[in-house]
């Protein structure tokens, strides 16, 4: 007999039919009632055991966490809390879970505790809901680009370049770390390394995506990015997933339009397709908020927040306008910004970004035309000579969700910039070739996938929206 997913059984409800399900025991009550979950839905299926058919030795093996195959007739349930249940004829124990040592017991566990059990936490309702939403978002992202004429491009994971020029890279080497070969100057001799040069894990697939956009027209990457930045925050990971669309013949305005439409569409997809999980996550947040003082509670519930994004325009503001607003603002009556903004040219901290989004405009904000000095080398210089065509999409509760720009397409301007920043031009010969052969305006952006999942699920810490978070001093699993 073929087994059926619980989600499908609950949707179709083939009353009277004999069915087979596989799953893990959530709870086992009165030696009779098993709540079984198989991950296909938040809902458990109640399986009722007939005392006479099952002996003591089998019943002893059933406890929270055990994996079972249950066969029986699907009937309407007399009990409260479920519409159907299985009258179990046969129970096969795939594997037991010793109640003395199985950590995921049917009670509320803290997220911190569950982070230490990352290999088992997906069996909880919260994590299963988050991970289903994550999966749906990934699907929606691919669908969006595939339906809009983009090609999926796989950027390399191991690279010889530093796309962001920020030097926050994980080195990839086959040299012996204890005694690497050295050259006559006493420096590590990378010519003896596997690739005969210094290489690292990619921080962004952008530069390679640019080369593909300048041939395929519109491309996107969706892959892991690695950053050895020492940021122990609830928004940073050392390994995260990034979506990077890159479009030939797009200027910054066209790219901002795309970013806004893209984000709205994928959120709309989860609103339609993840209703059960979102409702659960919303309730979870409301319960959590009850313990907070009134003024720290959010004024919108999760689903309302998501709908707000879909239904409202993002506010577009230049960096210069934002600085004027920030200079004349205080985050609240008593407090100043921790890093007050005194002058044009300062980089915005997350407190400023959040002020603009959450207090001032009260909607997502796209900040653009940043000072050249605080942005990466590849961004297109504006006619004013001091700002670049950069944009960041800032989101409530998240801060920066997207970073992007129009790229510098003029060879001489790009070479000049590379020189100013003391970047080795030889390393970027292939990137500069794009400006030598058939150059054209082009633009793109990167969206941090985990930050999007955080926004969609309302999870406060980025470590709780990726299966195995990597952060400083944390790669246990």
Which residues of this protein are in contact with ligand 4AD, per CB under 6 A?
A: 163-164, 204, 206, 227, 229, 236-237, 240, 242, 244, 400-405, 444-446, 448, 450-451
Task: Specify burial of residue 352 (Cβ count, 10 A radius: 0-12, 13-18, 19+).
Answer: buried
Which of the listed partners (Mg ion, ligand 4AD, none) does 240 bind, with a CB threshold of 5 to 8 Å by partner kind? Answer: ligand 4AD
Which of the listed partners (Mg ion, ligand 4AD, none) does 199 bind, with a CB threshold of 5 to 8 Å by partner kind? Answer: none
Which of the listed partners (Mg ion, ligand 4AD, none) does 65 bind, with a CB threshold of 5 to 8 Å by partner kind? Answer: none
Using CB under 5 A, list all residues that contact Mg ion: 403
Which of the listed partners (ligand 4AD, Mg ion, none) does 458 bind, with a CB threshold of 5 to 8 Å by partner kind? Answer: none
Which of the listed partners (Mg ion, ligand 4AD, none) does 121 bind, with a CB threshold of 5 to 8 Å by partner kind? Answer: none
The least distance separating Mg ion from the CB of residue 455, rounded to whole angstroms, comes to 16
Q: Where is 28: in which H helix or E strand?
A: strand 18-29
The least distance separating ligand 4AD from the CB of residue 401, rounded to whole angstroms, comes to 5
Residue found under tokens 């035309």: 369
The least distance separating ligand 4AD from the CB of residue 146, rounded to whole angstroms, comes to 19
Task: Specify burial of residue 94 (Cβ count, 10 A radius: 0-12, 13-18, 19+).
Answer: exposed
What whole-number distance in Å separates Cα of residue 477 and Cα of residue 239? 13
The least distance separating ligand 4AD from the CB of residue 219, rounded to whole angstroms, comes to 11
Q: Collapsing DSSP states into helix, strand and coil, what is residue 37? A: strand
What whole-number distance in Å separates Cα of residue 173 and Cα of residue 83? 58
C-beta closer to ligand 4AD: residue 244 or 408: 244
The least distance separating ligand 4AD from the CB of residue 455, rounded to whole angstroms, comes to 10
Which of the listed partners (ligand 4AD, Mg ion, none) does 145 bind, with a CB threshold of 5 to 8 Å by partner kind? Answer: none
Which of the listed partners (Mg ion, ligand 4AD, none) does 446 bind, with a CB threshold of 5 to 8 Å by partner kind? Answer: ligand 4AD
CA distances to 234, 288, 304 from 293, in Å = 21, 11, 21
The least distance separating ligand 4AD from the CB of residue 336, rounded to whole angstroms, comes to 26
The least distance separating ligand 4AD from the CB of residue 265, rounded to whole angstroms, comes to 18
The least distance separating ligand 4AD from the CB of residue 308, rounded to whole angstroms, comes to 20
C-beta closer to Mg ion: residue 23 or 403: 403
DSSP assignments along 425-475, one per residue = GGGGHHHHHHHHSS---EEEEEEEHHHHHHHHHT-S-GGGSSSS--BTTB-
Which of the listed partners (Mg ion, ligand 4AD, none) does 164 bind, with a CB threshold of 5 to 8 Å by partner kind? Answer: ligand 4AD
- Least Cα distance to 122 among 46, 40, 61, 47 occurs for 40
DSSP assignments along 391-403, one per residue = EEEEETTTEEEEE
The least distance separating ligand 4AD from the CB of residue 351, rounded to whole angstroms, comes to 17
Which of the listed partners (Mg ion, ligand 4AD, none) does 114 bind, with a CB threshold of 5 to 8 Å by partner kind? Answer: none
C-beta closer to Mg ion: residue 72 or 205: 205
What whole-number distance in Å separates Cα of residue 405 and Cα of residue 370? 10
CA distances to 74, 149, 209, 444 from 217, in Å = 54, 9, 10, 12
C-beta closer to ligand 4AD: residue 26 or 380: 380
C-beta closer to Mg ion: residue 72 or 403: 403
Which of the listed partners (ligand 4AD, Mg ion, none) does 448 bind, with a CB threshold of 5 to 8 Å by partner kind? Answer: ligand 4AD
C-beta closer to ligand 4AD: residue 74 or 322: 322
Contact criterion met (CB below 8 Å) for 240 and 168: no
Buried b (16+ CB within 10 A) or exposed e, 48-76: bbeeeebeeeeeeebbbbbbbbbbbebee
Give residue number: closest CB to Mg ion: 403
C-beta closer to Mg ion: residue 10 or 258: 258
C-beta closer to Mg ion: residue 399 or 458: 399
C-beta closer to ligand 4AD: residue 36 or 465: 465
Which of the listed partners (Mg ion, ligand 4AD, none) does 136 bind, with a CB threshold of 5 to 8 Å by partner kind? Answer: none
Q: Collapsing DSSP states into helix, strand and coil, what is residue 122? A: helix
The CB density around residue 170, as the number of other CB atoms within 10 Å, is 14
C-beta closer to ligand 4AD: residue 444 or 458: 444
- Please name every residue paired with 443 in a beta bridge, in sequence order, or none if there are none: 247, 406
The least distance separating ligand 4AD from the CB of residue 141, rounded to whole angstroms, comes to 14
DSSP letter at 163? T
Alpha helices in 20-105 (DSSP H): 56-61
C-beta closer to Mg ion: residue 85 or 244: 244
Pairing of strands 199-201, 171-172: antiparallel
The least distance separating Mg ion from the CB of residue 21, rounded to whole angstroms, comes to 46
- Please name every residue paired with 393 in a beta bridge, in sequence order, or none if there are none: 366, 402
Q: Collapsing DSSP states into helix, strand and coil, what is residue 366? A: strand
């Amino acid at each position: 007999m073929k087994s059926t997913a619980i989600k499908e059984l609950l949707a179709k409800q083939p009353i009277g039919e004999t069915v087979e399900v596989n799953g893990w025991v959530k709870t086992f009550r009165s030696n009779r009632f098993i709540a079984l979950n198989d991950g296909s839905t938040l809902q458990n299926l109640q399986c009722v055991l007939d005392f006479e058919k099952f002996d003591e030795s089998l019943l002893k093996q059933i406890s929270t966490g055990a994996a079972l195959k249950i066969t029986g007739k699907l009937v309407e349930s007399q009990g409260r809390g479920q519409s159907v249940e299985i009258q179990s004829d046969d129970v096969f124990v795939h594997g037991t879970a010793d109640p003395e040592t199985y950590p995921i017991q049917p009670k509320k566990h803290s997220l911190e505790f569950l982070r230490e059990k990352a290999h088992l936490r997906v069996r909880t309702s919260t994590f299963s809901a988050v991970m289903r939403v994550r999966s749906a978002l990934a699907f929606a992202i691919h669908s969006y680009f595939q339906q809009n004429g983009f090609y999926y491009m796989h950027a390399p994971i191991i690279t010889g370049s530093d796309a962001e020029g920020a030097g926050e890279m994980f080195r990839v080497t086959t040299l012996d770390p204890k005694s690497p070969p050295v050259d006559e100057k006493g420096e590590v001799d990378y010519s003896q390394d596997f690739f005969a040069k210094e290489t690292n894990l990619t921080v962004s697939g952008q530069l390679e995506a640019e080369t593909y956009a300048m041939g395929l027209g519109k491309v996107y990457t969706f892959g892991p990015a690695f950053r050895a930045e020492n940021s122990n925050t609830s928004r940073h990971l050392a390994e995260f997933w990034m979506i990077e669309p890159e479009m030939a013949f797009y200027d910054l305005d066209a790219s901002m339009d795309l970013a806004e439409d893209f984000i709205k569409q994928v959120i709309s997809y989860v609103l339609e397709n993840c209703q059960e999980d979102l409702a659960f996550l919303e309730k979870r947040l409301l319960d959590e908020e009850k313990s907070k003082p009134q003024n720290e509670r959010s004024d919108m519930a999760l689903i309302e927040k998501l709908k707000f994004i879909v239904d409202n325009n993002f506010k577009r503001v230049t960096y210069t306008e934002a600085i004027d607003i920030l200079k004349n603002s205080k985050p609240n009556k008593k407090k100043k910004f921790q890093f007050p903004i005194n002058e044009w040219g300062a980089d915005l901290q997350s407190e400023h970004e959040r002020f603009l989004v959450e207090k001032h405009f009260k909607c997502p904000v796209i900040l653009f035309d940043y000072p050249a000095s605080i942005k990466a080398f590849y961004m297109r210089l504006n006619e004013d000579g001091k700002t670049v065509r950069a944009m960041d999409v800032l989101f409530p509760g998240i801060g920066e969700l997207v970073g992007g720009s129009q790229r510098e397409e003029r060879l001489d301007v790009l070479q000049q910039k590379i020189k100013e920043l003391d970047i080795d031009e030889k390393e970027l010969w292939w990137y500069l070739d794009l400006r030598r052969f058939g150059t054209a305006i082009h633009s793109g952006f990167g969206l941090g996938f985990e930050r999007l999942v955080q926004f969609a699920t309302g999870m406060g810490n980025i470590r709780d929206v990726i299966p195995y978070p990597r952060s400083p001093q944390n790669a246990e699993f």
